[in-house]
Amino acid sequence: MYSGSQKSLLLILLLVALVSVTACLEEKKVLPVAADKPVVGGTYRRAFADAFIVLDPALIKDSNSHEVCRQIYDGLLEFDEKARLQPVIAKDWTISEDKLTYTFSLRDDIRFHDTVAGKPTLNGGRYLDAHDVLYSFSRLLKPQEDSQAAFFWMIKGAKEFSSGKASEITGIRVVASHSIVFELEKPFAPFVSLLAMCNAFIVPHEDAEGQPGGLAAVPVGSGAFKWAGRDGETIRLSANDKYFRGRPWLEYLEFPVIRDELERFTAFNEGRLSHVDVPDSQYRNVKQDPLRAACLIETNLWGSNYLGLNLQQAPFDNRLVRQALNYALDRDTIVRIVLNGRVQVANGILPPGVPGHNDNLAGYSYDLKRAKELLAEAGYPDGKGFPEITLQYNRDAIHSRTAEFILANLRDIGINCVVRELEFGDHLKTVEEGSVAFFRMGWTVDYPDPDSFLYTLFHSSNIGTGYNFSHMNSPELDALLDRARFETDMEKRMAIYHQAEKLIVDEAPWVFLHFYSAHLLHQKSVRGIKLGPMGEALMQYRNIWLAPSDASQSP
């Protein structure tokens, strides 16, 4: 899924113009550690840097939308904070010996929301059954703009249905009110993991079709929280007291938009946010303060930040140029200065921890001499004749600071580059359209498998309708990725992915930057918060509660 400026993955280095942590602590009473007995009530506030939120699960592409919708909807399965699969609507399942047929038994005690924003829903709070699962997948797979159907084309008949060539999905069958079968075209190792993706959330047909604006305007699911409306750019959710696992501890969730990260940190210091991404300029202060460090959660994430190159547009249609750009970039300095050394330079596509990550993949090192040699070999000695290029990124201070270093590195090999900043939604739209040749983008794994990165981002079938924004089109790579998808021997499968990743790195459709990490600071009153390698997109707010306090929450 997309990772934009709103993620906790990238944080900025700015002048320390913010009130220091020490001063903040001097002004505020430090709370004693609260008792750990859960209590009901309170409002949890988490700010986004951008207002781009998609509320219809069939259309979700980004991590923020995933985070919000995960609270509203349920899927057959879910990932816990350690990215392990857990049952939700599906209570158990069996897989046929040939790995083609998956039979799911469903819970019979899950209700859709009966009210949202104080008004009755069209489904009336009825119980969810297998027909809702069939409907939700039919809705996801139907021909439509912005569809995420391609993720599920391994289901028998799904591709034909999505293209309008068939009237039903032959590979999904309701066999009883609480039993459903999925049949695949070929064995696909991570299929069950796909069912935990946000796009596979289950929805009621009454509200999806009958509400004005559909679920994008009034989201209705069966999750722990219900839609409570918007206040300007702030999204508000309320506790679902009929949730099948029991009512969540929190009364409300609020997701305001605060675009500047130092303003977000100030809001946190003032107790107006429950957790915040730690700005680079404040990281050392937080780490060195025992009170704050006790409320700091840090983890490496299964995501990557990169500069995409559109291989269909000159001069990036020349592999020598793409390789030259990779050698010209001083990633170590960017990570050390801009990111305070908190992330790992990317040697390839797959982050550490993701199955198939290759520690031995060489990647690109900073080599100005080699960059100039490749540029000259491409026909641009010392950059002569090289056209001015534009680097586009979503508006965010850290992206701007990173761009300063990138532009300086490119000038060192004779390339003049300018920048274009857009809001995340506009940036995403132009990248998807293929009208941008050089762009910043991030990707966080949707399911813990190399397929989520390599097939999704580089297979030619995902050009135009998917996430292959670099327009990489290699029959050799396609063949490798197709083989890996349907290989059932895991050792052989990982070996194929190593071969595929090396091919991609050699072709250099990206300027590889770094893998992601998260540094989340929460209030002392916050209990039950957990963060895993898939980031805040998997945050389970139903497990969080707020310890009572008569003082500022700020640690």
pLDDT in tens, 321-348: 999 999 999 999 999 999 989 999 999 9
* Segment (H or E) for 546: strand 545-546
- pLDDT > 90: percent of the chain: 84
pLDDT of residue 275: 98
What is the DSSP code string of 64-88?
A: HHHHHHHHH---SEEE-TTS-EEES
Label residue 144 by pLDDT band (50, 70, 90): confident
Distances (CA, A) of 473 to 307, 353, 445: 18, 28, 22
Local structure of 28: helix, strand or coil? coil
369 or 261, greater pLDDT:
369
Which of 14-28, 62-76, 253-267 has the lowest average pLDDT?
14-28
User: Is 70 exceeded by the pLDDT of residue 43?
Assistant: yes
In this structure, the strands spanning 43-45 and 77-79 are unpaired
Question: 8 CB contacts (<8 Å, ≥6 apart)?
Answer: 277, 518, 519, 520, 535, 536
44 or 80, greater pLDDT:
44
- Round to whole Å and give the CA distance between 38 and 53: 30
pLDDT of residue 555: 61
Using only C-alpha atoms, the chain has a radius of gyration, in whole angstroms, of 24
User: Is 60 exceeded by the pLDDT of residue 35?
Assistant: no
CA atoms within a 13 Å half-sphere pointing along the CA-CB vector of 119: 11
Label residue 274 by pLDDT band (50, 70, 90): very high
Helix axes 490-507, 475-486, angle to 10 degrees: 160
pLDDT in tens, 71-104: 999 999 999 988 999 999 999 999 999 999 999 9
C-alpha angle 497-503-508 in degrees, rounded to nearest 5: 125
What is the DSSP code string of 90-124?
A: EEEEEE-TTS-EEEEEE-S--B--SEETTEE-SST
Which domains, from first to last, does the chain contain?
53-220 (3.90.76.10), 300-516 (3.10.105.10)
User: Is 90 exceeded by the pLDDT of residue 5?
Assistant: no
**Quick one: average pLDDT of 370-393?**
98
Q: End-to-end CA distance of the chain, in Å?
A: 32
Label residue 32 by pLDDT band (50, 70, 90): very low
The two tokens of residue 528 are 């039950």
